[in-house]
Amino acid sequence: MIMSLPEEDLTCPVCYDIFTDPVLLSCSHSFCRSCLKRCWDTGLRECPVCRKRAPKSSAPSNLALKNVCEAVLQVRRQSSLLEEEKKMNCNLHGEKLKLFCLVDKQPICVVCQSSKLHKGHDCSPIEEAVLDCKDELSLTLKSLQDKLDSHKRIHIISAGMIKYIKSQAVETQRLIKSQFKQLHQVLDQEESASIAAVKKEEEEKIAGMKDKIKELSAEVLSIADTISVIEGQLLEDEMVFLKNFKDTQDRGRSIAPDSDNMSGLLIDMTKHLGNLKYRVWEKMLDHIDYTPVTLDPNTAHPCLILSDDLTSLHYSKQPSCCPDNPERFHMSAEVVGMTSLGSGSHHWVVETGSNQDWLLGVASLSVPRNAEISARPENGFWTLCFRDGEFKAMTSPPTALTVTRTPKQVKVQLDYNKGTVSFFDPIDDTLIYAFTDTFTESLVPYFYTQSSHPLRIMPEKILVTMLRQ
């Protein structure tokens, strides 16, 4: 009977909930006593529904409505308890859920434990299972929270990396244009020199032809004059002719023989055009450097400054703004070469100059970049160290080395297949130290310094070899 009443008949029009201590106004509208008080505290003593003025006396309790509402709430509470109790009981057997199956990860009753479905499964009491499951979920929650924090950090870094990538692209394009401009200047100079050589030869050939024409003109006049004299003698009487014959004959013979050698008068086009591109390319080699190792700027510690051509490095106390990418060394002033070395023999020479604090050698490609570890072979480093005026091979423990002089250059030589990393003084190829090991992964040239004086990878001579087929 009670549950058949519409719920809106038992709902306060102010708080829209089941009446609590309902009161009845003369207009027949009912309200919770506390709801009506709040409305009347505003200063308007009227019905909140129909706005009819209410008497100044306190509104009487609606006992009948109060009893009905309490009965409804009692029924709700009992229904809720039944639902809670139902949740605590097994759906299959109606028994209380006292155990937790560790295999199927679900609460069970004692009957379920002996059934085929869970027979032989490890179980624990519900109280213990709640604690264990909460601990497990807490670990999962922490892992997810860490992952969320990591993703948020990566998201922030990624946004910054977009800006850095754009600046990288602009700087790289600027350096490319600068290097091509240098090559263009060399080509322009060679082009100007080649054209100037043609023009010079043109002027020399034309001047020679003018001199030859001048000589020919003088000879023409001389021959014409001699012809005129001979023709005149032929018209003289016999005695005069004979008297002048010897002089006339000598004059005719004094005319130089014809010079019809016209070779070598034209411009030598072969000299200017033969293998022109190759000859220019050979000259360009004098303006081009080749270094066997190029530094990877994406691995450089923020305090390392690399040259534009990526062949030298030095330390700066003022770190640069660069992204926290995984390839970068974060803990100490290190950088590695661009190309990984996996087989064969390789060498490069590093000019140390006035630098008094450096490590040189090779490192495994997988060495940690976000932790500070000792540069030892067991950690993937094979290096030579110079610090405080002393040379050391970074073995375990480091090996002090004695050298006859402090080299200004160090040659690093790797023979991957033989498993050797050797260091030489390139002046006389004196061996400073050699590591012998077995390499199991690719290696990269390795550099470290905390000096403002640069370490520079020296360029190598370029040898041109002609292949004839």
Q: What is the pLDDT of residues 70-90, one digit of tens each?
A: 888 888 888 777 776 667 778
Average pLDDT, integer, range 10-18 = 90
Domain boundary (38, 57, 86) is at 86
Please tell me whether residues 210 and 316 are part of one structural domain.
no
Range of the domain at 370: 297-457
pLDDT at 1: 45
256 lies in a domain? yes
Residues 363 and 418 in one domain: yes
Same-domain status, 349 and 396: yes
Q: Does position 259 have pLDDT exceeding 90, yes or no?
A: no
Tell me whether residue 160 is in a domain.
no
Specify if 464 maps to a domain. no
Share of the chain above pLDDT 70, in %: 96
357 domain residue, yes or no: yes
Tell me what the pLDDT averaged over the chain comes to: 88
pLDDT value at residue 250: 82
The CATH number that applies at residue 112 is 3.30.160.60
Q: Does residue 462 fall inside a structural domain?
A: no
469 or 282: which carries more pLDDT confidence? Answer: 282
In this prediction, residue 256 has a pLDDT band, given cuts at 50, 70 and 90, of: low
**275 and 174 co-located in one domain:** yes
Give 257's pLDDT tier (boundaries 50, 70, 90).
Answer: low
**How many separate domains does the chain show?**
4
Co-location of 373 and 226 in the same domain: no
Same domain as 374, residue 303: yes
Residue 255 has pLDDT above 80, yes or no: no
Look at residue 133 in the predicted model and tell me its pLDDT: 87
Note the pLDDT tens digit of each residue in 89-121: 787 776 887 888 888 888 888 878 778 778 778
Q: Quick one: 75 and 100 in the same domain?
A: no
Same domain, yes or no, for 283 and 301? Answer: no
- Do 249 and 321 lie in one domain? The reply is no
Residue 215 in domain: yes
Average pLDDT over residues 141-164: 88
Say which CATH number the domain at 443 has: 2.60.120.920
pLDDT tens track for 298-309:
999 999 999 999
Q: Identify the pLDDT of residue 434.
A: 97
pLDDT at res. 4: 55
pLDDT score at 85: 65
CATH code for position 23: 3.30.40.10
Among the residue ranges 5-9, 111-115, 359-363, the one predicted with the least confidence is 5-9
pLDDT in tens, 123-144: 888 888 888 888 889 999 999 9
**In this structure, are 429 and 345 located in the same domain?**
yes
* Residue after which a domain boundary falls, among 86, 114, 144: 86
Q: Is residue 151 part of a domain?
A: no
Interval 33-43: pLDDT, tens: 999 988 888 87
Give the pLDDT confidence score for residue 384 in this predicted structure. Answer: 97
Of 257 and 108, the one with more pLDDT: 108
Which domain-ending residue is among 287, 314, 339?
A: 287
In a domain? residue 466? no
Tens-place pLDDT, residues 341-350: 989 999 999 9
Task: For residues 176 and 192, state if they share a domain.
Answer: yes
Per-residue pLDDT tens over the stretch 178-220? 999 999 999 999 999 999 999 999 999 999 889 888 988 888 8
Q: What is the pLDDT of residue 258?
A: 62
SS3 labels along the chain: CCCCCCHHHHECCCCCCECCCEEECCCCCEEEHHHHHHHHCCCCCECCCCCCECCCCCCCECHHHHHHHHHHHHHHHHHHHHHHHHHCECCCCCCECCEEECCCCEEECHHHHHCCCCCCCCEEEHHHHHHHHHHHHHHHHHHHHHHHHHHHHHHHHHHHHHHHHHHHHHHHHHHHHHHHHHHHHHHHHHHHHHHHHHHHHHHHHHHHHHHHHHHHHHHHHHHHHHHHHHHHHHCCCHHHHHHHHHHHHHHHHCCCCCCCCCCCCCCCHHHHHCCHHHHHHHHHHHHCCECCCCECHHHCCCCEEECCCCCEEEECCCCCCCCCCCCCCCCCCEEEECCCECCCEEEEEEECCCCCEEEEEEEECCCCCCCCCCCCHHHCEEEEEEECCEEEECCCCCEEECCCCCCCEEEEEEECCCCEEEEEECCCCEEEEEEECCCCCCEEEEEEECCCCCEEECCECCCCCCCCC
303 with 401, same domain: the answer is yes
